[in-house]
Structure formats: structure tokens, C-alpha cells
Amino acid sequence: MNNNTLSMAEETDRFLKRLALVMFLVAVAFVFRAGRLMVDPDVASYLRIGQMFFGLSILFILMPAGLRYSRMRSKMGKICAENDGYMYQMFQKAGFTAFQFGFIFFSMIDMFLVDFFEGYSVELLLRVGVSGLLGAFSISFFRLVYQDSDDELDDEFDDGEKA
């Protein structure tokens, strides 16, 4: 199927998958940025190069899909106002999972690890926390999408055996 014949639902699914991938890349870039706060300046320059690589990757992955999605959405107008597709639902579930992860992560730091992180800057802790949230989101999204599709495939085989 070529790009001109994609429906709005298919374009939305493609955009959401790329957005989740980009969120994972942003999480890795945040880890590099946090690492720069903890290492020697010589090593930090290599981490900066890695961070720039991830930044460019994010741009090249998201920009084409984002432009296609916005162009199609502006052409469709009110017809595509509601996002109730499968990928959108998985996107919402992944957001909820990431929120749960973040809540537990920061609660545990507050309760048990305050003394351990006492010498570190707030900037470092926030970068690690945001990285964890974004990573949890993207991993959860892809796990939900591919786990549910595997379950549906198993159901189809089960139905075939009963017939």
C-alpha cells in the first residue's frame, strides 16, 4: 500500500508508533544528558555527541510522519476529530502505566533512597526520573500493542480448532 492511499486511522497508527519510538529515544538522550553531569569533561564530550545523534534521529523519525499526519488531519477536518482507534487506546494505557511507574519510582526515592541521593543535584534526579517515565511509556506502549496482537492471533487459532 503506498503512502497516498493510507486512511486517517492508518496514518494515526503510524504516527503514534513513531511517537512512542521517539519517546524512547528521548529517554536515552536524557540518560546521556544525566551521564554528562556525573563524568569527566572528556567523557562528557562523547556523551554530548551521542546526545546530538539521538536528537537528529528524533528529528528524522518524527518530522516526516508528523507532517503527513498534520496535513491529512487538516484535510479531513471534523471527520477525524475523535481518536478512538486501537493504537490510541494503547497509547492512553501506556500513559497510565508510565504515570504509575513514575509515582512508584518517586515515592520509593522519597521513602527509601533520600540518603543515597543526597549528594546528587536535583537536575540529575529529574533527568533520570523523566528518562524513566519516557522509557516506561514507550516500552509499555510497544508491549501492549504487540502482546495484544499476539493474544488476538492465539484467539483466532483457538476459534479455528473449535470449528
Give tens-digit pLDDT for 9-32. 788 888 888 999 999 999 999 888
The pTM of the full predicted model, rounded to 2 decimals, is: 0.75
In 37-77, which residue ranges form alpha helices assigned H by DSSP?
A: 41-76
Residues 6+ apart with CB under 8 A from 45: none
**With bands split at pLDDT 50, 70 and 90, how would you rate the model's confidence at 163?**
very low
Determine the structural domain holding residue 25 and report its residue range.
Answer: 3-162
What is the arithmetic mean of pLDDT over 92-115?
84
- The total of structural domains in the chain comes to 1
**With bands split at pLDDT 50, 70 and 90, how would you rate the model's confidence at 113?**
confident
The per-residue pLDDT of the chain, averaged, comes to: 80
**68, 11 contact by CB (below 8 A):** yes
